[in-house]
A and B are shown apart, each in its own frame.
Chain A
Amino acid sequence: MALVALIWPAAAGGIPVPGMGMQTVGTVFLFSFAMTGLLVNARSQSGWRVSLACAAACFAALAVHPLLLATAGAAAQLLVLPSRQRLSAGCLRMLLFVSGCAPGGEWAACIAALTAGCAASRGRGALALAPSVEMGCSLLILIRCCLQSQVIPARQMAFVLLVGGVTLGFGRALKALSTRYASSAFASIFAASHALAVIASGLFLLASAADSPLCGQAALSAFVLDLLCVWPVAVALLHIGDLTVAGGGSDRLNRLGGLILFAPRLAALFAVVACAYLLLPPTGGFSVLWLLAETALGLLPEGYAPALPSIVLLASLGAIVALFSLAVLRLVMLVMLGGPRTPRMAGCTDITEGTIQPILVCLVVTAVTSCVPGLIARLTPRLMGFSLTSNEMSVNVLTAITLVGPDGLSSWTPIAVMLMLLVVAVIVIILRQRARVSLPKSAHIVFSDVTPSEETLWSDGLRTRSSWLPFGEPLLWPGSDAVAAILKQTVLISSASFRDARYRVFKVFALAVRGGKVAIAGIHRIEIHGLAVVLLLTALALWAVTVRP
């Protein structure tokens, strides 16, 4: 139903319930919440609560009346609140959400969206998907406020949203890179899609304030693309993270590892979803990023000083992409690759067909949605409140192609790149297979036990001793602290540098004191000639005064 409503909203017709309607914003969010609900296993512990929460969120997406929206959204957030722990933060965010729903609560909606980005994992099982419900509800009221831009101070709110979104992105990425818990890392990585949506809203407001409908449309397209193509993948990543933690038997990252050896199906799904979420081409995340960058470039003011905030924003976007990519790679390295670091991991069971099917359905539906010709090009103008004529529609359908599907961007670049990648990949695979089938033996072997390689010396290696360990090389593994230490060592100034700097300051100070003492002690040496020097200076002064006219 969500898919039909999204693609063809007129088919659903009017909803007979008072206070509800089939608006375009609602259909976009209905799709996202429906995808979340699809992944919930209702039979599991607390699964019914999250299912009900998703249903309430779907009602909130369709609600037109503020009271109904607040009630349904608050109910959704209430249902995913944990039973005992961390209630206060969740309740506070829920209150902010309710106040944001009220007429005139635009700033509250803005703050609610920013604070919802800090939502952490709520627990195991279905509750692991709780952040998606909470962040989705906050984004729903935020975009509704943004679309009524005539009543709010757009420029100030855009500034708050952009700064907040970038800070949120940095904070969650650093958290994902430094945390020791898998659930926390997955939840932090999920927040990347939320941060991108907040930045897109900020750019939309900025474009509205600058009276630039084209840039506004691009920013809104990025927002819609984020919700339709990236959000379901991110929710699937959350779900896979929960399955990994359940399979591995521990939430600690340094007790997992080697998932590909014991649960190949789960590992394959994890790899596919991680690749789709990497924000690098050719994925939907890259399309969102590209649209955001083009919007920011389109809004670049003239002159260096006025353009500096936009330039910093673009550099920050790049830094966020880099940090989130590293966070995803760190998770892949610690969870999926390598060997098991605890015996419990060796007992990890693979997921069943029943568990795989919802995830596959979610991924396939997302891929199909992103490939519907001109969907974003039709949805975005409708979101902005004006409808296209048939001529404009045909132009949009022809020119709007994204990397993951034909939406959002202004050229055929993405689909062409995808096709080229597919063709070249097929050629590379065929070449590799043929090379494996007909391998000629190496004619020239210098040392039989040494393979020449890139890191050995150029005379085909001078290794004098092979490994002598009786059971092979030890499967030592860099823990999560090693990654954090590498980052800290690379990006930040290490404590050793601080220690050295402090030592240098003390040294200079001590030398200065010592030099002063030596100078004072050496004054008696010049006091003999001091009188002569004073007399000479006096004579010079007199000469200067008297002789000079």
Chain B
Amino acid sequence: MISLPFFLSILLSMTQLVVVVMFAPLIAGFRVFMSARLTGVAAPPVLRRWYLIATQWCADSPDQNSDPLTPQTSIVASCATTAAMTTVLVVSLLVPMAASGLATAHLSDIFVITLLLMSAQIACQLPALGGQAETATTAFRRLISASVAIPVLFLIAVLFFSVGATTNLDVVLSGLRSGSPFGDDAPFVLAALALLVAGAASDCTVSDVGVTGTDRAILMLAADCSSLIWLTLAGDLFWPGSLALISEHQTVTGSVGALSVGFLLWIVRCCVLCVILAAGNLVAAGPVTRIRLRGAGALLLAFFAIQVLFGSRFPIMPYRGAVHEQSTFDDNTGGGPL
């Protein structure tokens, strides 16, 4: 007989998959909305992103004989679309969003998750690389922008391993549930900032030229999902206490209630992070500066997080001279009253 937590964890995984696909364009629309509002221009509606995807989904495929590059682009686009969407959906099954203790908890390694996300970002830009000069250069610039984050991911793995002796996300998050974000878990707040700067701030825009129709709709959806998962990862590290625990509740009602609260908190977390990102984008001046700032800022934050971790969590051994002086002092005093 299947136990209740196991059944719930399977159900949760499936729900997570659906919720990511449903909410990713909304969150992306909210982010664009906030960016526009903060810069003072007319803001597009939040549902605009969903409208674009639906329009592209229903659009006809381009005429195959109109351009010599069209058949080539369509082959590359169909392969890249499948790869990107598949990768993103698999990652959405691995990342804890509303609750920890998923059926896939033992598979959620930080290396696997983040590098799979990187693969998805590369796949999203692949069709544009086959386009014309301006499109290809822009796409390659976006790829460079995404790849500057890879060293940061390795540093965050150091942080994970130093605390939990593992790089498993679920295990590390479970260990952080009781800590305070301003106390012992401060390094992880910094790491979340680094993840936010490195991953979520990257430009996932799918280029206008080249891909149309269903492939373009799926690519846009994959880019939005990828962005949402970066936000979720950062949110998990910011506030691990917001994740519900399935095994805590013995009844179905209690578990469903906890999961609902978990999903609600996940949406709130993502919206807050969107506002932070939109406000942060105002500070950066231009695209090159933004890439450089992101790379350098994320690296510094990750290094700083490790430094804070070593300073706060592990005991500092007194240097040898101090120990010698202390022992000499004890010997002299003999432990008795002066």
Asked whether B154 lies within 8 Å of A490 as measured between CB atoms, the reply is no
Contacts A261-B68, A304-B311, A458-B44 given; does A478 touch B147 at CB 8 Å: no
Given A300-B162, A441-B58, A477-B133, A326:B147 Cβ within 8 A: yes
A123 vs B186: C-alpha distance in the bound complex, in angstroms? 56
8 Å CB interface, A405-432 against B? 411-413, 416-417, 420-421, 424-425, 428-429, 432
Alpha-carbon distance between A317 and B152 when the two chains are bound, in angstroms: 11
A424 touches B112 (CB 8 A): no
CB-CB under 8 A for A294 and B167, given A315-B151, A413-B112, A421-B87: yes
Given contacts A475-B132, A478-B140, contact A435 B214 (CB under 8 A): yes
Q: Is A353 an interface residue (CB 8 A)?
A: no
Q: Which of A440, A456, A473 has the most CB of B within 10 A?
A: A473
Query: B75 within 8 Å of A by Cβ?
Result: yes
| A456 vs B48: C-alpha distance when bound (angstroms) | 12
- Nearest B residue to A332 via CB reads B129
Q: Which residues of A contact B144 (CB under 8 A)?
A: 326, 486-487, 490
Q: Chain A, interface size: which category?
A: 35 or more
Q: Are B82 and A429 in contact, CB atoms less than 8 angstroms apart?
A: yes
* Docked complex: A146-187 residues within 8 A CB-CB of B: none
What distance in Å separates the Cβ of A305 from its nearest Cβ neighbour in chain B?
9
Q: Does A451 contact B (CB under 8 A)?
A: yes
With CB as the reference atom, state the residue of chain B lying closest to A326: B147
Which chain B residues border A489 with CB–CB below 8 Å? 288
Binds B, one of A131-139, A333-341, A372-380: A333-341
Contact call A455/B52, Cβ cutoff below 8 A:
no
Q: Which residues of B contact A486 (CB under 8 A)?
A: 137, 140-141, 144
Contacting residue for B154 out of A260, A302, A317, CB 8 A: A317
B133 is contacted by which of A297, A432, A476 (Cβ under 8 Å)?
Answer: A476
Q: Closest approach, in angstroms, between the C-beta of A442 and any C-beta of chain B? A: 5
Is the pair B52, A318 in contact by a Cβ cutoff of 8 Å?
no
8 A Cβ contacts from B37-62 to A:
42, 44-45, 48, 51-52, 55, 57-61
Contact across chains for B154 and A293 when beta carbons are under 8 A apart: yes
Q: Assuming A260-B75, A413-B106, A490-B288, is B218 touching A432 (CB within 8 A)?
A: yes
Q: Scoring A residues 448 to 467 as 1 if CB is less than 8 Å from chain B, else 0, what string do you get?
A: 00011111101000000000
Question: Does A523 interact with chain B (Cβ within 8 Å)?
Answer: no
* A residues in contact with B233, CB < 8 Å: none
Query: Chain A 290-319, CB within 8 Å of chain B: the 1/0 string?
Result: 100110010010111001001100111111
A252 at the interface (CB under 8 A from B): no
Contact residues, A324-362 vs B (CB, 8 A): 325-326, 329-330, 332-333, 337-339
The reply to whether B314 and A319 form a contact with Cβ atoms under 8 Å apart is: no
A436: Cβ under 8 A from any B Cβ: yes
Main secondary structure of the interface of A (DSSP, over half): helix
A300, A318, A338, A439: the one contacting B161 at CB < 8 Å is A300
| Closest B residue, CB atoms, query A337 | B130
Binds A, one of B115-123, B245-253, B269-277: B115-123
B48, B60, B86, B307: the one within 8 Å of A425 (CB): B86
B314:A302 contact, CB within 8 angstroms:
yes
Interchain nearest-CB distance for B125 vs A (Å): 9
Query: In the complex where A314-B155, A442-B58 touch, is A297 in contact with B75 (Cβ < 8 A)?
Result: no
Inter-chain CA distance A287–B114, complex, in Å, is 14
Residues of A within 8 A of B150 (CB): 318-319, 321-322, 325
CA distance A451 to B220 in the complex (A): 15
Q: How far is the CA of A369 from the CA of B158 in the complex (A)?
A: 32
Q: Are A428 and B86 in contact (CB under 8 A)?
A: yes
Tell whether B328 is near chain A: CB-to-CB under 8 Å. Answer: no
Residue of B112, B207, B317 ringed by the most chain A CB atoms within 10 A = B112
The answer, yes or no, to whether B310 is at the interface (CB within 8 Å) is yes
Chain A residues 254 to 286 lying within 8 A of chain B, measured CB to CB, are 258, 260-261, 271, 278, 280-282, 286
Residue from A303, A311, A476, A482 within 8 A of B155 (CB atoms): A311
| Bound-complex Cα distance A455 to B214 (A) | 18
Given contacts A307-B310, A322-B148, A417-B90, contact A315 B155 (CB under 8 A): yes
The answer to whether residues A304 and B307 also contact, given A314-B154, A435-B214, A453-B52 and a CB cut-off of 8 A, is: yes
Chain B positions within 8 Å of A326 at CB level: 143-144, 147
Tell me if A483 is interfacial: C-beta within 8 Å of chain B.
yes
Q: Which residues of A485-502 have CB atoms within 8 Å of chain B's CB atoms?
A: 486-487, 489-491
Q: Name the residue in A281, A302, A330, A411 with the highest tally of chain B Cβ atoms < 10 Å from its Cβ.
A: A281
Minimum distance in angstroms from B73 CB to a CB of chain A: 8
Nearest residue (CB) in A for B303 is: A311
Q: Which residues of chain A have C-beta atoms less than 8 A from B107's C-beta? A: 411-413, 416-417
**B267 interface contact, C-beta 8 A:** no
* Closest-CB distance, B217 to chain A (whole angstroms): 8
> Is B190 positioned at the interface, with any CB of A under 8 Å from its CB?
no
CA distance A307 to B288 in the complex (A): 33
Nearest 8 A/B pairs, CB to CB: A337-B130, A458-B44, A318-B151, A304-B310, A318-B154, A476-B133, A322-B147, A322-B150
B-side residues, CB < 8 A to A, are 42, 44-45, 48, 51-52, 55, 57-61, 67-69, 71-72, 75-76, 78-79, 81-83, 85-87, 89-90, 93, 104, 106-107, 109, 111-112, 115-116, 118-119, 122, 129-133, 136-137, 140-141, 143-145, 147-148, 150-155, 157-158, 161-162, 167, 205-208, 212, 214-215, 218, 220, 288, 291-292, 295, 299, 303, 306-307, 310-311, 314, 317
Known: A318-B151, A417-B90, A420-B104. 19 other contacts (CB 8 A): A260-B72, A260-B130, A311-B303, A317-B154, A326-B144, A333-B130, A338-B129, A413-B107, A417-B116, A420-B90, A425-B86, A428-B82, A451-B212, A452-B52, A455-B208, A456-B208, A458-B48, A483-B140, A490-B141
